[in-house]
Structure 1
């Protein structure tokens, strides 16, 4: 659908609605409430560096006046522009180049994979001009009677001389520009992405409560939205009522992340290793000095088995194997039993599985590094191998 872009700067600024908030969180909450009531949604189109935590960098800031019943002056420290999610497509050129590449590839090769599904609408971007402007400002109250141009210039000069007297606020400007070129009202929420709070709730229910059924997850989300989202959103708003496909995607994502080494399993292994290190340092070795405590056995104590004591004292390489295959597993099992209250047998099985998965991930990473190194060497010496 062809549309004509509307310049935001060409609007009548006197018709804009301006609201002042004490914090960025309050401003975002008001905008979200506005989005729910109108079934519209805004995304960040542009933002200055460190918006929300901006600092005064110089005394040459422009001093602006806002007239009305209670006039005031303000100095802008930074701003952020929120665009309608049906606004301008910033990646339009890249998408067109990618589409040309796909078309050329399919023409050159008859065996190229054909798409089984076709999007009726290539993008939800419709060049909607609607936007919201957030400004981080310092507000100053002028003296009474400052109405002439000379008085205003003097007041602005006094403000620049000491910006520390200003009160930091968040100014939200609602330009008098209407939404265009896309569906509005009840059906406007059908193309909205899932809300971040709803996505976080899905992850929490999967990881902590073990919810694995999509229908059950839908019931939990309905209850969560009813209790925590005000005003009540439309039932057709996919931001708060996502489809089963979207819910399943986020459930799988949360489950996969829960199995990652960066989560609980990794923390469990690290905790066990720290326990083992402490045990070896305190119970096995009296003197560490500058040598790594696993490289050699100095004065071993705390072992009841004299034969094992003798073997470990003579073979420093066996110490590492003993730590890896005995102490780490025992420490893992002990921590698992303490945390879960499960039996030692189940703890041992689970901990062995954790160690095996960690070893497999390490081997896969090593193979990937080896393959990359191999390709690098082949490219470096391909002129020699070609002559052979």
Structure 2
């Protein structure tokens, strides 16, 4: 998968926007959670009176920007999603919970409760990457034709507000403007794209070449090796890797290559010469 750049997309329905967000997460091997969303984004508003009429929306430095094309619009709602490695917004709650657990353990007649040893108490790493979405409603009937001017804009806005106050029938077009961040927006952690590629760029014969494959080897390590020891320290993990995992991997590598030799097995006559005695990939 190639490195991805920031991109700007416009769709007509919230359902389409949700599908694009899901596809973006799958394609980039990332995950985003809702940071902020108002009611107008996910619900249809019956009354549009009182909304500010705009001709363009420059937005923030990074985010949704609606350019001016001569058609007035109002902003119905917004949705901001941040990387799940973003800022930790429950720091105080976690500290309070930890304090309560400590007090409970120090009380008289307390019993020892088995608990996990956490290397870190949160997965949050202050990643600033965000997906910005903005839902707008455009009014093509009040589009400025010909030369644009401040006077024409004011006249059209007055007409539009009057029509909205009396609920007149008019043509409305809803749009969802979406800004997807690029890979450079992610900070302090590896993305799914970089995860596997970090250690395989110069190792052309490594069999594990996908994130799913790496997760499968991780599961194998825990089930076949780490489950046999109660010591969960880092030194124990290193000892298991060098005394069991790597030797087993090397022995399987030797075994697979030995089985491929012509002196061990007979190849069919239709098998090309370059496929015979072919070295196997490293296996884990």
- What TM-score, normalized by structure 2, do the two folds share? 0.54
Change (3 A) 1:125 1:133: same
Asked if 1:81 corresponds to 2:88, the answer is no
Matches within 5 A, 1:332-351: none
Aligned to 2:187: 180
Q: Structure 1 pair 75/174, CA: closer, same or farther in 2 (3 Å)?
A: farther
**Alignment match, 1:46:** 36
Residue aligning to 1:154? 155
Given the two structures, how large is their TM-score scaled by the length of structure 1?
0.41
Shift of 1:78: 1.9
Q: How does 1:101-180 map to 2 (within 5 A)?
A: 101-109=100-108, 111-141=110-140, 142-163=143-164, 164-174=170-180, 178-180=185-187
Structure 1: distance between partners of 2:128 and 2:151: 38
Take 2:163 and 2:193, find their aligned partners in 1: how far apart are those partners?
50
**Contact 2:53-2:73 at 8 Å conserved across structures:** yes
Instruction: For residue 55 of structure 1, report the CA deviation from its aligned partner.
Output: 0.8
1:321-361 Cα shifts (integer Å, max 9, x gaps): xxxxxxxxxxxxxxxxxxxxxxxxxxxxxxxxxxxxxxxxx
Matching of residue 32 in structure 1 with residue 39 in structure 2 = no
How much is the aligned-residue C-alpha RMSD, in angstroms?
3.5
In the superposition, relative to structure 1, how do residues 144 and 86 fare at CA in structure 2: closer, same or farther (>3 Å)?
A: same
The answer (yes or no) to whether the contact 1:72–1:139 under 8 Å persists in 2 is yes
Which aligned pairs between 1:281-300 and structure 2 lie closer than 5 A? none
For the 8 Å contact 2:40–2:78, the answer to whether it is kept is no
Query: 1:61 Cα shift?
Result: 0.8
How many angstroms apart in 2 are the aligned matches of 1:79 and 1:68? 17
Give the Å deviation of 1:76.
Answer: 1.3
Consecutive unaligned residues of structure 1, counting only runs of 5 or more, are 1-15, 190-233, 246-388
Q: Distance in 1 between matches of 2:97 and 2:147?
A: 59
Give CA-to-partner distance per residue, 1:258-290, whole Å, 9 cap, x none.
xxxxxxxxxxxxxxxxxxxxxxxxxxxxxxxxx
Q: Is the 8 A contact 1:86 1:125 kept in 2?
A: yes
- Structure number with the bigger relative contact order (C-alpha 8 A, sep ≥ 6) is 2
Tell me, what secondary structure is at the counterpart of 2:118? Answer: coil
Listed as ranges, the gaps of 5+ residues in structure 2 are 1-5, 57-65, 165-169, 197-208, 221-284
* Corresponding residue of 1:299: none
Query: Which of these two proteins has the greater Rg computed from alpha carbons?
Result: 1
CA 1:33–1:119 in structure 2 vs 1: closer, same or farther (change >3 Å)? same
Residue of structure 1 in register with 2:201 after alignment: none
More helix by share: 1
> Is the CA contact 1:146–1:152 (under 8 Å) kept in the aligned structure 2?
no
Contact 2:144–2:153 (Cα < 8 Å) also in 1 = no
Deviation at 1:111, TM superposition (A): 4.2
Contact 1:40 1:188 in 2 (8 A): no
Seen in structure 2, the aligned counterparts of structure 1 residues 59 and 69 have a Cα distance that, compared at 3 Å, is closer
Aligned 8 A contact 1:135 1:171 in 2: yes
Aligned CA distance change for structure 1 residues 19 and 161 (closer, same or farther; 3 Å): farther
Alpha-carbon deviations, 1:36-86, whole Å to 9, x = none? Answer: 222221111222226332214342211222375845432112222212111
Paired residue total: 185
Q: Which residue of 2 aligns with 1:202?
A: none
